[in-house]
Structure formats: C-alpha cells, structure tokens
C-alpha cells in the first residue's frame, strides 16, 4: 500500500515567478525604459518634422510614466532599495540600449529605436503579462497592459518615421541599415530584453558617433524659417496687440514653444546621470507639456486656414543658450515660464470677451501647466547648484544671466531680418483679417 503524499502540490503556472524574480524583471524593464527615453529626449532638437518632435515628446513622457510605475512596483515588492540604484546583471543590456544615443543620423536613430529596441520592450511586456500571475501581481498587470498598448503605437510610429526619413535622405539608407542590423545582432547575442535570466554575455557597444547637443535646432521646412518669429521681439515699437492681432500673436507664440520641447529634451538627458530619478520624470512631463502647447498653437493656426509657409518658426531662444553650460538651458525654460505666466489669465479673459473659446481654452490649460513648470524650474535649478557645491539661492543669478543671454542675442538681429519678419507678420495679419479668427 502506498502512503498518501504528505503535502498538496501540483504544477501551477501561477507560481512560475516568485516575488524576488518578479522584482528583478521589473527592475530590468525600468532600466531599459529609462535608457531608451533618455536617448529619445536627447534627439528631439535634431528632428526636423514638427509632428515627430511633438510625438517623440509624448512617447518620452509615456516611457517615463511606465518607468515610474515599474520603479514604484519594485519597491512595493520589497526589493532592496540599494539594488534598485544599479542595473546589476542587466548592466550590459542597459548599456547597449543607451548606445542608441550615439546613432550616426536621425534615420539611424528612428530605425534602431523602431525596429530593435521598442519591439524588444513590447515583446517583453507581452511575455511578462502572459506568464506572470494576474492575482499576486495584479497591480503590475494594470500599468503594464497600458504600457503594452503604448509600445505598439510607438513601434508603428517609429517604423513609419524611419521609412519616411529614409525617403528624404536616401544617401543614409546604407549606413542606417548597417547600424540597425548591428544593434539588432548585439541584442540577440545578449539574449534580448525578454523575461529570461539576465545574460552573462558582455557585448561591446558599437560606436560610430558621439552624441553632442546640436548648436542649431532642426526645423520643419514647411514653415517660414527665421530666428526671430515676431516683430515685437526685435522692435519695441511693434505692439503685442489686441483683438485679432492678439489671437494671432498668441497662436504664433504657442507654436514657437517648439524651442521649449527641444530644450526640455536636452536638459532631461544632460542631467539624467547626475540628478535623481524624479528629475527624469518631471522633465519628461515638462517636455511633453511644451509639446502640447506647441501643438495648441499649430492647431489654432491651421483651423484659421493659414498656410504653414506663411507662418514664422524661429530659433532665437534655443540659439541664445547654444554653447553654454546646459544649466542655462534649464534656466532659459525657467526664465520664460516666470516671465510670461502673469499675462496668461488676462489673455484668456480677453479671448473670452472675443468669443474665441479655443484660444481661451488653450491659454487656460497652458496657464495650469506653466504653474507646475515654474515649480520644476526653481526646484531643480537649486538641486543642481547644490550638487555643484554652489548656493541654492544662486538660481536667480542663473535666471538673470538667461535674460541677458537673450537680450544679447536679440541684439544680433540684422536690419534685413527685422524688415523681413515685419513683412511676414503684416501679411499674416492682413490675411487673418480677411478670415476673421474665431
């Protein structure tokens, strides 16, 4: 006679991963998202297409939110805090993902992200959701399902952008294919992202280029290119305006917040290694918010049937901090946030009185965002200064110097630039007058 077993046991797929295994996988995903989003942010200024610039900011923010949920969940699983500060056995994988920042060109970046790293993350999330326990690990299932949906959208977008950018830069086809293939091979060699144990293989990361912050931002060629995007910037006698002029000026300002998306991306990546995680999360949100403000202006101008070729898209604020320590890029955002915020409620009120509900709506939402941003600026400038061994209160000096940098740069406007922007603005005001903006 055989004795009954002493304990109940059966093969249960729910028990495939124990708490610690789960935390290790989620930690890997956190570092992969973090690494990828830092590279995406760094490239925003180099992308010409306004659509891609805006969408990349949104995707960067999505990644930061996913990374933040992953990080919080790892802490909930009682993973030792100290171990979450380092990639550990995933060091090589995370380094490989980070190497995409050194892509040799815009198509190469879009292709490597869209064909190699985003699909690998998407598949890892899908496999994780399939194999993990929706009961014990229910909180992860909720946010990772959202992340999987977002990853699918991101893969489609990046692959489409990579294809479009290659039709515009056919000469880069070969180098883009080589770069993408190379990274893909290395990712395979390391075992992918996946849900398996960390690879022991140490791959070297390819290097064809070293990332540098571009001195000039790439701009969408559909618009009228310039440095100073409205006459009042270079000519104090030109009024900011009321009525139709104010409606137009405000939409032009919003569109030209494209500089703030670029600067947001630069500062996120520049300080990612020195400031704590919360910096990346805040600056990703900041960058995304600025992309929404830019899009608000674009959509209003398009709704008024204006032609992008007649709309000035300038670079002067970006240019003003070029070649400077990136702390002045952070300072530049802070300078403009605090300089303009007081006008916004009054302008929303003016738009209300004109019956222009869309401008009013956009300005009102923008004001709420900018209030958050002014807080980010002050807080992180202080943190950065303290890290550098300086007084936190010197943040105001950084702000003041930014004001001076802009004034000096505006002083370089040529007579031709001033008369050209005047003609473009007058023509736009005339045309808008015939359209009647509301």
CA angle 85, 91, 97 (to 5 degrees): 105
If the CB atoms of residues 186 and 285 are measured against Fe ion, the closer one turns out to be 285
If the CB atoms of residues 69 and 282 are measured against Fe ion, the closer one turns out to be 282
Number of residues in contact with Fe ion, rule: CB under 5 A? 6
Return the range that interacts with Fe ion (CB under 5 A); candidates 73-81, 168-176, 332-340, 410-418: 332-340
Tokens standing for residue 266: 């630069």
What does the H/E/C string look like for 292-348?
A: HHHHHHHHHHHHCCCCHHHCEECCHHHHHCCCCCCHHHHHHHHHHHHHHHHHHHHHH
What is the C-alpha separation between 210 and 299, in angstroms, rounded?
Answer: 36
Return the range that interacts with Fe ion (CB under 5 A); candidates 26-34, 153-161, 203-211, 335-343: 335-343
DSSP state of 224: E
Cβ 170 to Fe ion shortest distance, Å: 36
Which residues between 211 and 270 bind Fe ion (CB under 5 A)?
257
Q: Helices 277-303 and 357-387: crossing angle, nearest 10°?
A: 160
If the CB atoms of residues 87 and 337 are measured against Fe ion, the closer one turns out to be 337
What character string, x for contact with Fe ion (CB under 5 A) and - otherwise, covers 27-66?
----------------------------------------
Cβ 73 to Fe ion shortest distance, Å: 30
Cβ 290 to Fe ion shortest distance, Å: 5
Cβ 404 to Fe ion shortest distance, Å: 21
What character string, x for contact with Fe ion (CB under 5 A) and - otherwise, covers 359-378?
-----------x--x-----
Of the CA atoms within 13 Å of residue 424, those in its CB half-sphere come to 26
If the CB atoms of residues 121 and 333 are measured against Fe ion, the closer one turns out to be 333
Tokens standing for residue 192: 């992918």
Which residues between 131 and 170 bind Fe ion (CB under 5 A)?
none
If the CB atoms of residues 281 and 293 are measured against Fe ion, the closer one turns out to be 293
If the CB atoms of residues 151 and 285 are measured against Fe ion, the closer one turns out to be 285
Partnered with residue 224 across adjacent β-strands are 312
If the CB atoms of residues 360 and 370 are measured against Fe ion, the closer one turns out to be 370
28, 101, 292, 293: which one binds Fe ion (CB under 5 A): 293
What is the C-alpha separation between 381 and 390, in angstroms, rounded?
Answer: 11
Binding status of residue 285 toward Fe ion by CB under 5 A: no
What are the C-alpha distances in Å from 109 to residues 56, 103, 171, 178, 416?
12, 5, 15, 12, 37
Give CA 308 to chain center in angstroms. Answer: 23
Query: Which residues of the shown chain bind Fe ion in the complex (CB under 5 A)?
Result: 257, 290, 293, 337, 370, 373
């Amino acid at each position: 006679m055989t004795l009954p077993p002493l304990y109940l046991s059966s093969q249960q797929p729910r028990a495939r991963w124990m708490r610690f295994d789960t935390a290790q996988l989620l930690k890997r995903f956190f570092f992969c998202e973090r690494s990828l989003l830092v590279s995406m942010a760094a490239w925003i200024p180099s992308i010409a297409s306004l659509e891609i610039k805006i969408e990349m900011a949104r995707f960067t923010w999505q990644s930061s939110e996913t990374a933040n949920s992953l990080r919080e969940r790892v802490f909930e699983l009682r993973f030792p805090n100290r171990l979450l500060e380092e990639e550990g056995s995933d060091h090589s994988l995370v380094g490989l993902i980070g190497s995409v920042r050194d892509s040799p060109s815009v198509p190469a970046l879009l292709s490597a992200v869209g064909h190699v790293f985003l699909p690998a993350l998407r598949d890892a999330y899908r496999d994780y959701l399939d194999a993990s326990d929706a009961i014990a690990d229910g909180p992860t299932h909720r946010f990772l399902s959202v992340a999987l949906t977002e990853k699918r959208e991101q893969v489609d977008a990046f692959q489409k952008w990579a294809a479009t950018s290659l039709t515009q830069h056919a000469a880069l086809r070969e180098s883009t294919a080589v770069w993408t293939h190379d990274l893909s091979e290395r990712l395979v060699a390391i075992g992918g992202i996946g849900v398996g144990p960390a690879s022991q293989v140490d791959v070297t990361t390819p290097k064809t280029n070293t990332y540098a912050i571009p001195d000039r931002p790439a701009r969408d060629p559909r618009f009228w290119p310039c440095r100073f995007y409205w006459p009042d910037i270079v000519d104090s006698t030109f009024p900011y305006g009321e009525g139709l002029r104010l409606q137009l000026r405000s939409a032009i300002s919003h569109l030209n917040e494209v500089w703030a998306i670029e600067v947001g991306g630069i500062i996120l990546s520049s300080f990612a290694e020195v400031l704590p995680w919360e910096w990346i999360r805040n600056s990703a949100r900041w960058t995304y918010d600025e992309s929404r403000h830019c899009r608000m202006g674009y959509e209003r101008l398009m709704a008024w049937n204006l032609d992008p070729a007649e709309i000035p898209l300038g670079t002067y604020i970006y240019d003003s901090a070029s070649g400077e320590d990136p702390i002045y890029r952070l300072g530049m955002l802070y300078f403009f946030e605090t300089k303009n915020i007081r006008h916004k409620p009054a302008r929303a009120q003016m738009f209300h009185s004109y019956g222009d509900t869309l401008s009013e709506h956009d300005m009102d939402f923008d004001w709420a965002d900018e209030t958050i941003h002014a807080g980010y600026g002050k807080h992180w400038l202080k943190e950065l200064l303290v890290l550098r061994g300086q007084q936190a209160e010197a943040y105001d000096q950084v702000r003041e110097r930014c004001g001076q940098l802009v004034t000096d740069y505006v002083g370089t406007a040529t007579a031709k630039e001033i008369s050209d922007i005047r003609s473009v603005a007058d023509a736009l005001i005339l045309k808008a007058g015939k359209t009647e903006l509301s």
